[in-house]
């Protein structure tokens, strides 16, 4: 049943009580910290018990009882929790990314939470070909590549379909988020480069844009405070600095003090090999693979061998925001991180 609670006229004018899911990840934690630093009360929802500087609820996004407790008394929800992987059984993506989002939307609406930011991914509208200076396309689970993108596309459709004057929903799609402590991109690049198992595809020439974590966190928080303008929309967020993927990887490797990739393979070959390896991984029940993932999947090969960068003008206008950390400054911060932790 839809809540009749009126949406606040300007949620950025006073402190809010905000539930943030997925704070165990780099981006979720950065979002929660940014909100807390701005004076908002943060409550997190996590599967495991951890020591956080904010209120925390332990449990799963698929547990309706947990979700009811988590959203109780909240002014807004920022939903980042997801299964993020290049491969895996469809049932896991469906349960967490689709059904978890459905349950959280229902709980928030039932408890009268007026605003909901769904953190999505540009991969929901990436169908295997290059994206060159395009706006945010429509999420399409039938055409998206790979289980992660397909499940996030379906979840985004659910979220935006729930948008109404009394339950405002915006979808923010940060693109390839990275920074110190990143286990999704940076750690994989560094580990494979150190082991000599990181080839460039097509010489690393594909032009891609990425998002430094501080910029992504700030944009997501702006999605909440600019809900009057953002609700009902999907907005892609990037640094706005497209670079060849080989140059980006070399920068990450230099920051970590590991050798950059020294060999290249054709993109078509990597895409074919990725399809074969992914099927073998699923057939083997993921046993015996490094980090429980195959070294290449078709989705990953497509991401590394096709251009994907976006027109950011609409995002900047809607959020009244622009990135504060440049790509080069982000790489310098990453270098400082490795200098302190190695």
Distance between CA atoms of residues 260 and 164, nearest Å: 49
Structure-block tokens of residue 62: 């698929």
How many C-beta atoms lie closer than 10 Å to residue 195's C-beta? Answer: 10
Which residues are annotated as catalytic? 148
3-class secondary structure, 308: strand
Query: CA nearest 101: which of 31, 154, 57?
Result: 154
For 299, residues 6+ apart whose C-beta sits below 8 A from its C-beta are 86, 87, 123, 145, 146, 148, 149, 274
Beta strands, E only, the chain: 17-21, 41-46, 55-58, 76-79, 115-119, 131-134, 168-174, 177-178, 200-201, 207-208, 211-212, 234-237, 243-244, 264-265, 308-310
Query: Do residues 30 and 137 lie in contact, with contact meaning Cβ atoms separated by under 8 Å?
Result: no
């Amino acid at each position: 049943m839809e809540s009749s609670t009126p949406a606040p006229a300007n949620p950025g004018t006073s402190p809010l009580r905000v539930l943030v899911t997925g704070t165990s990840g780099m981006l979720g934690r950065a979002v929660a910290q940014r909100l807390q630093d701005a004076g908002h009360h943060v409550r997190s929802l996590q599967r495991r018990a951890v020591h956080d500087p904010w209120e925390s609820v332990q449990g799963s996004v698929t547990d309706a009882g947990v979700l009811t407790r988590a959203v109780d008394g909240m002014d807004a929800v920022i939903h980042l929790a997801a299964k993020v992987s290049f491969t895996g059984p469809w049932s896991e993506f469906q349960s967490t990314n689709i059904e978890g989002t459905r349950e959280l939307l229902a709980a928030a609406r039932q408890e009268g939470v007026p605003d909901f930011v769904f953190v999505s991914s540009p991969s929901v509208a990436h169908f295997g070909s290059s994206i060159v200076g395009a706006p945010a396309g429509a999420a399409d689970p039938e055409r998206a590549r790979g289980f992660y993108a397909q499940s996030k596309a379906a979840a985004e459709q659910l979220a935006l379909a729930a948008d109404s004057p009394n339950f405002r929903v915006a979808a923010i799609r940060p693109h390839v988020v990275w920074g110190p402590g990143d286990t999704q991109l940076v750690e994989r690049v560094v580990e494979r480069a150190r082991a000599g198992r990181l080839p460039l595809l097509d010489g690393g020439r594909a032009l891609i844009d990425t998002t430094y974590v501080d910029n992504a966190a700030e944009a997501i928080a702006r999605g909440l405070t600019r809900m009057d303008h953002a609700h009902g929309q999907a907005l892609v967020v990037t640094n706005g600095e497209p670079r060849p993927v080989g140059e980006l990887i070399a920068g990450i490797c230099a920051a970590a003090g590991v050798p950059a990739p020294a060999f290249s393979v054709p993109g078509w070959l990597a895409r074919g090999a990725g399809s074969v390896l992914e099927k073998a991984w699923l057939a083997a029940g993921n046993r015996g693979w490094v980090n429980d993932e195959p070294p290449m999947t078709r989705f990953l090969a497509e991401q590394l061998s096709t251009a994907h960068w976006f027109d950011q003008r609409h995002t900047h206008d809607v959020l009244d925001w622009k990135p504060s950390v440049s790509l080069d400054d982000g790489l310098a911060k990453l270098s400082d991180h490795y200098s302190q932790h190695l």
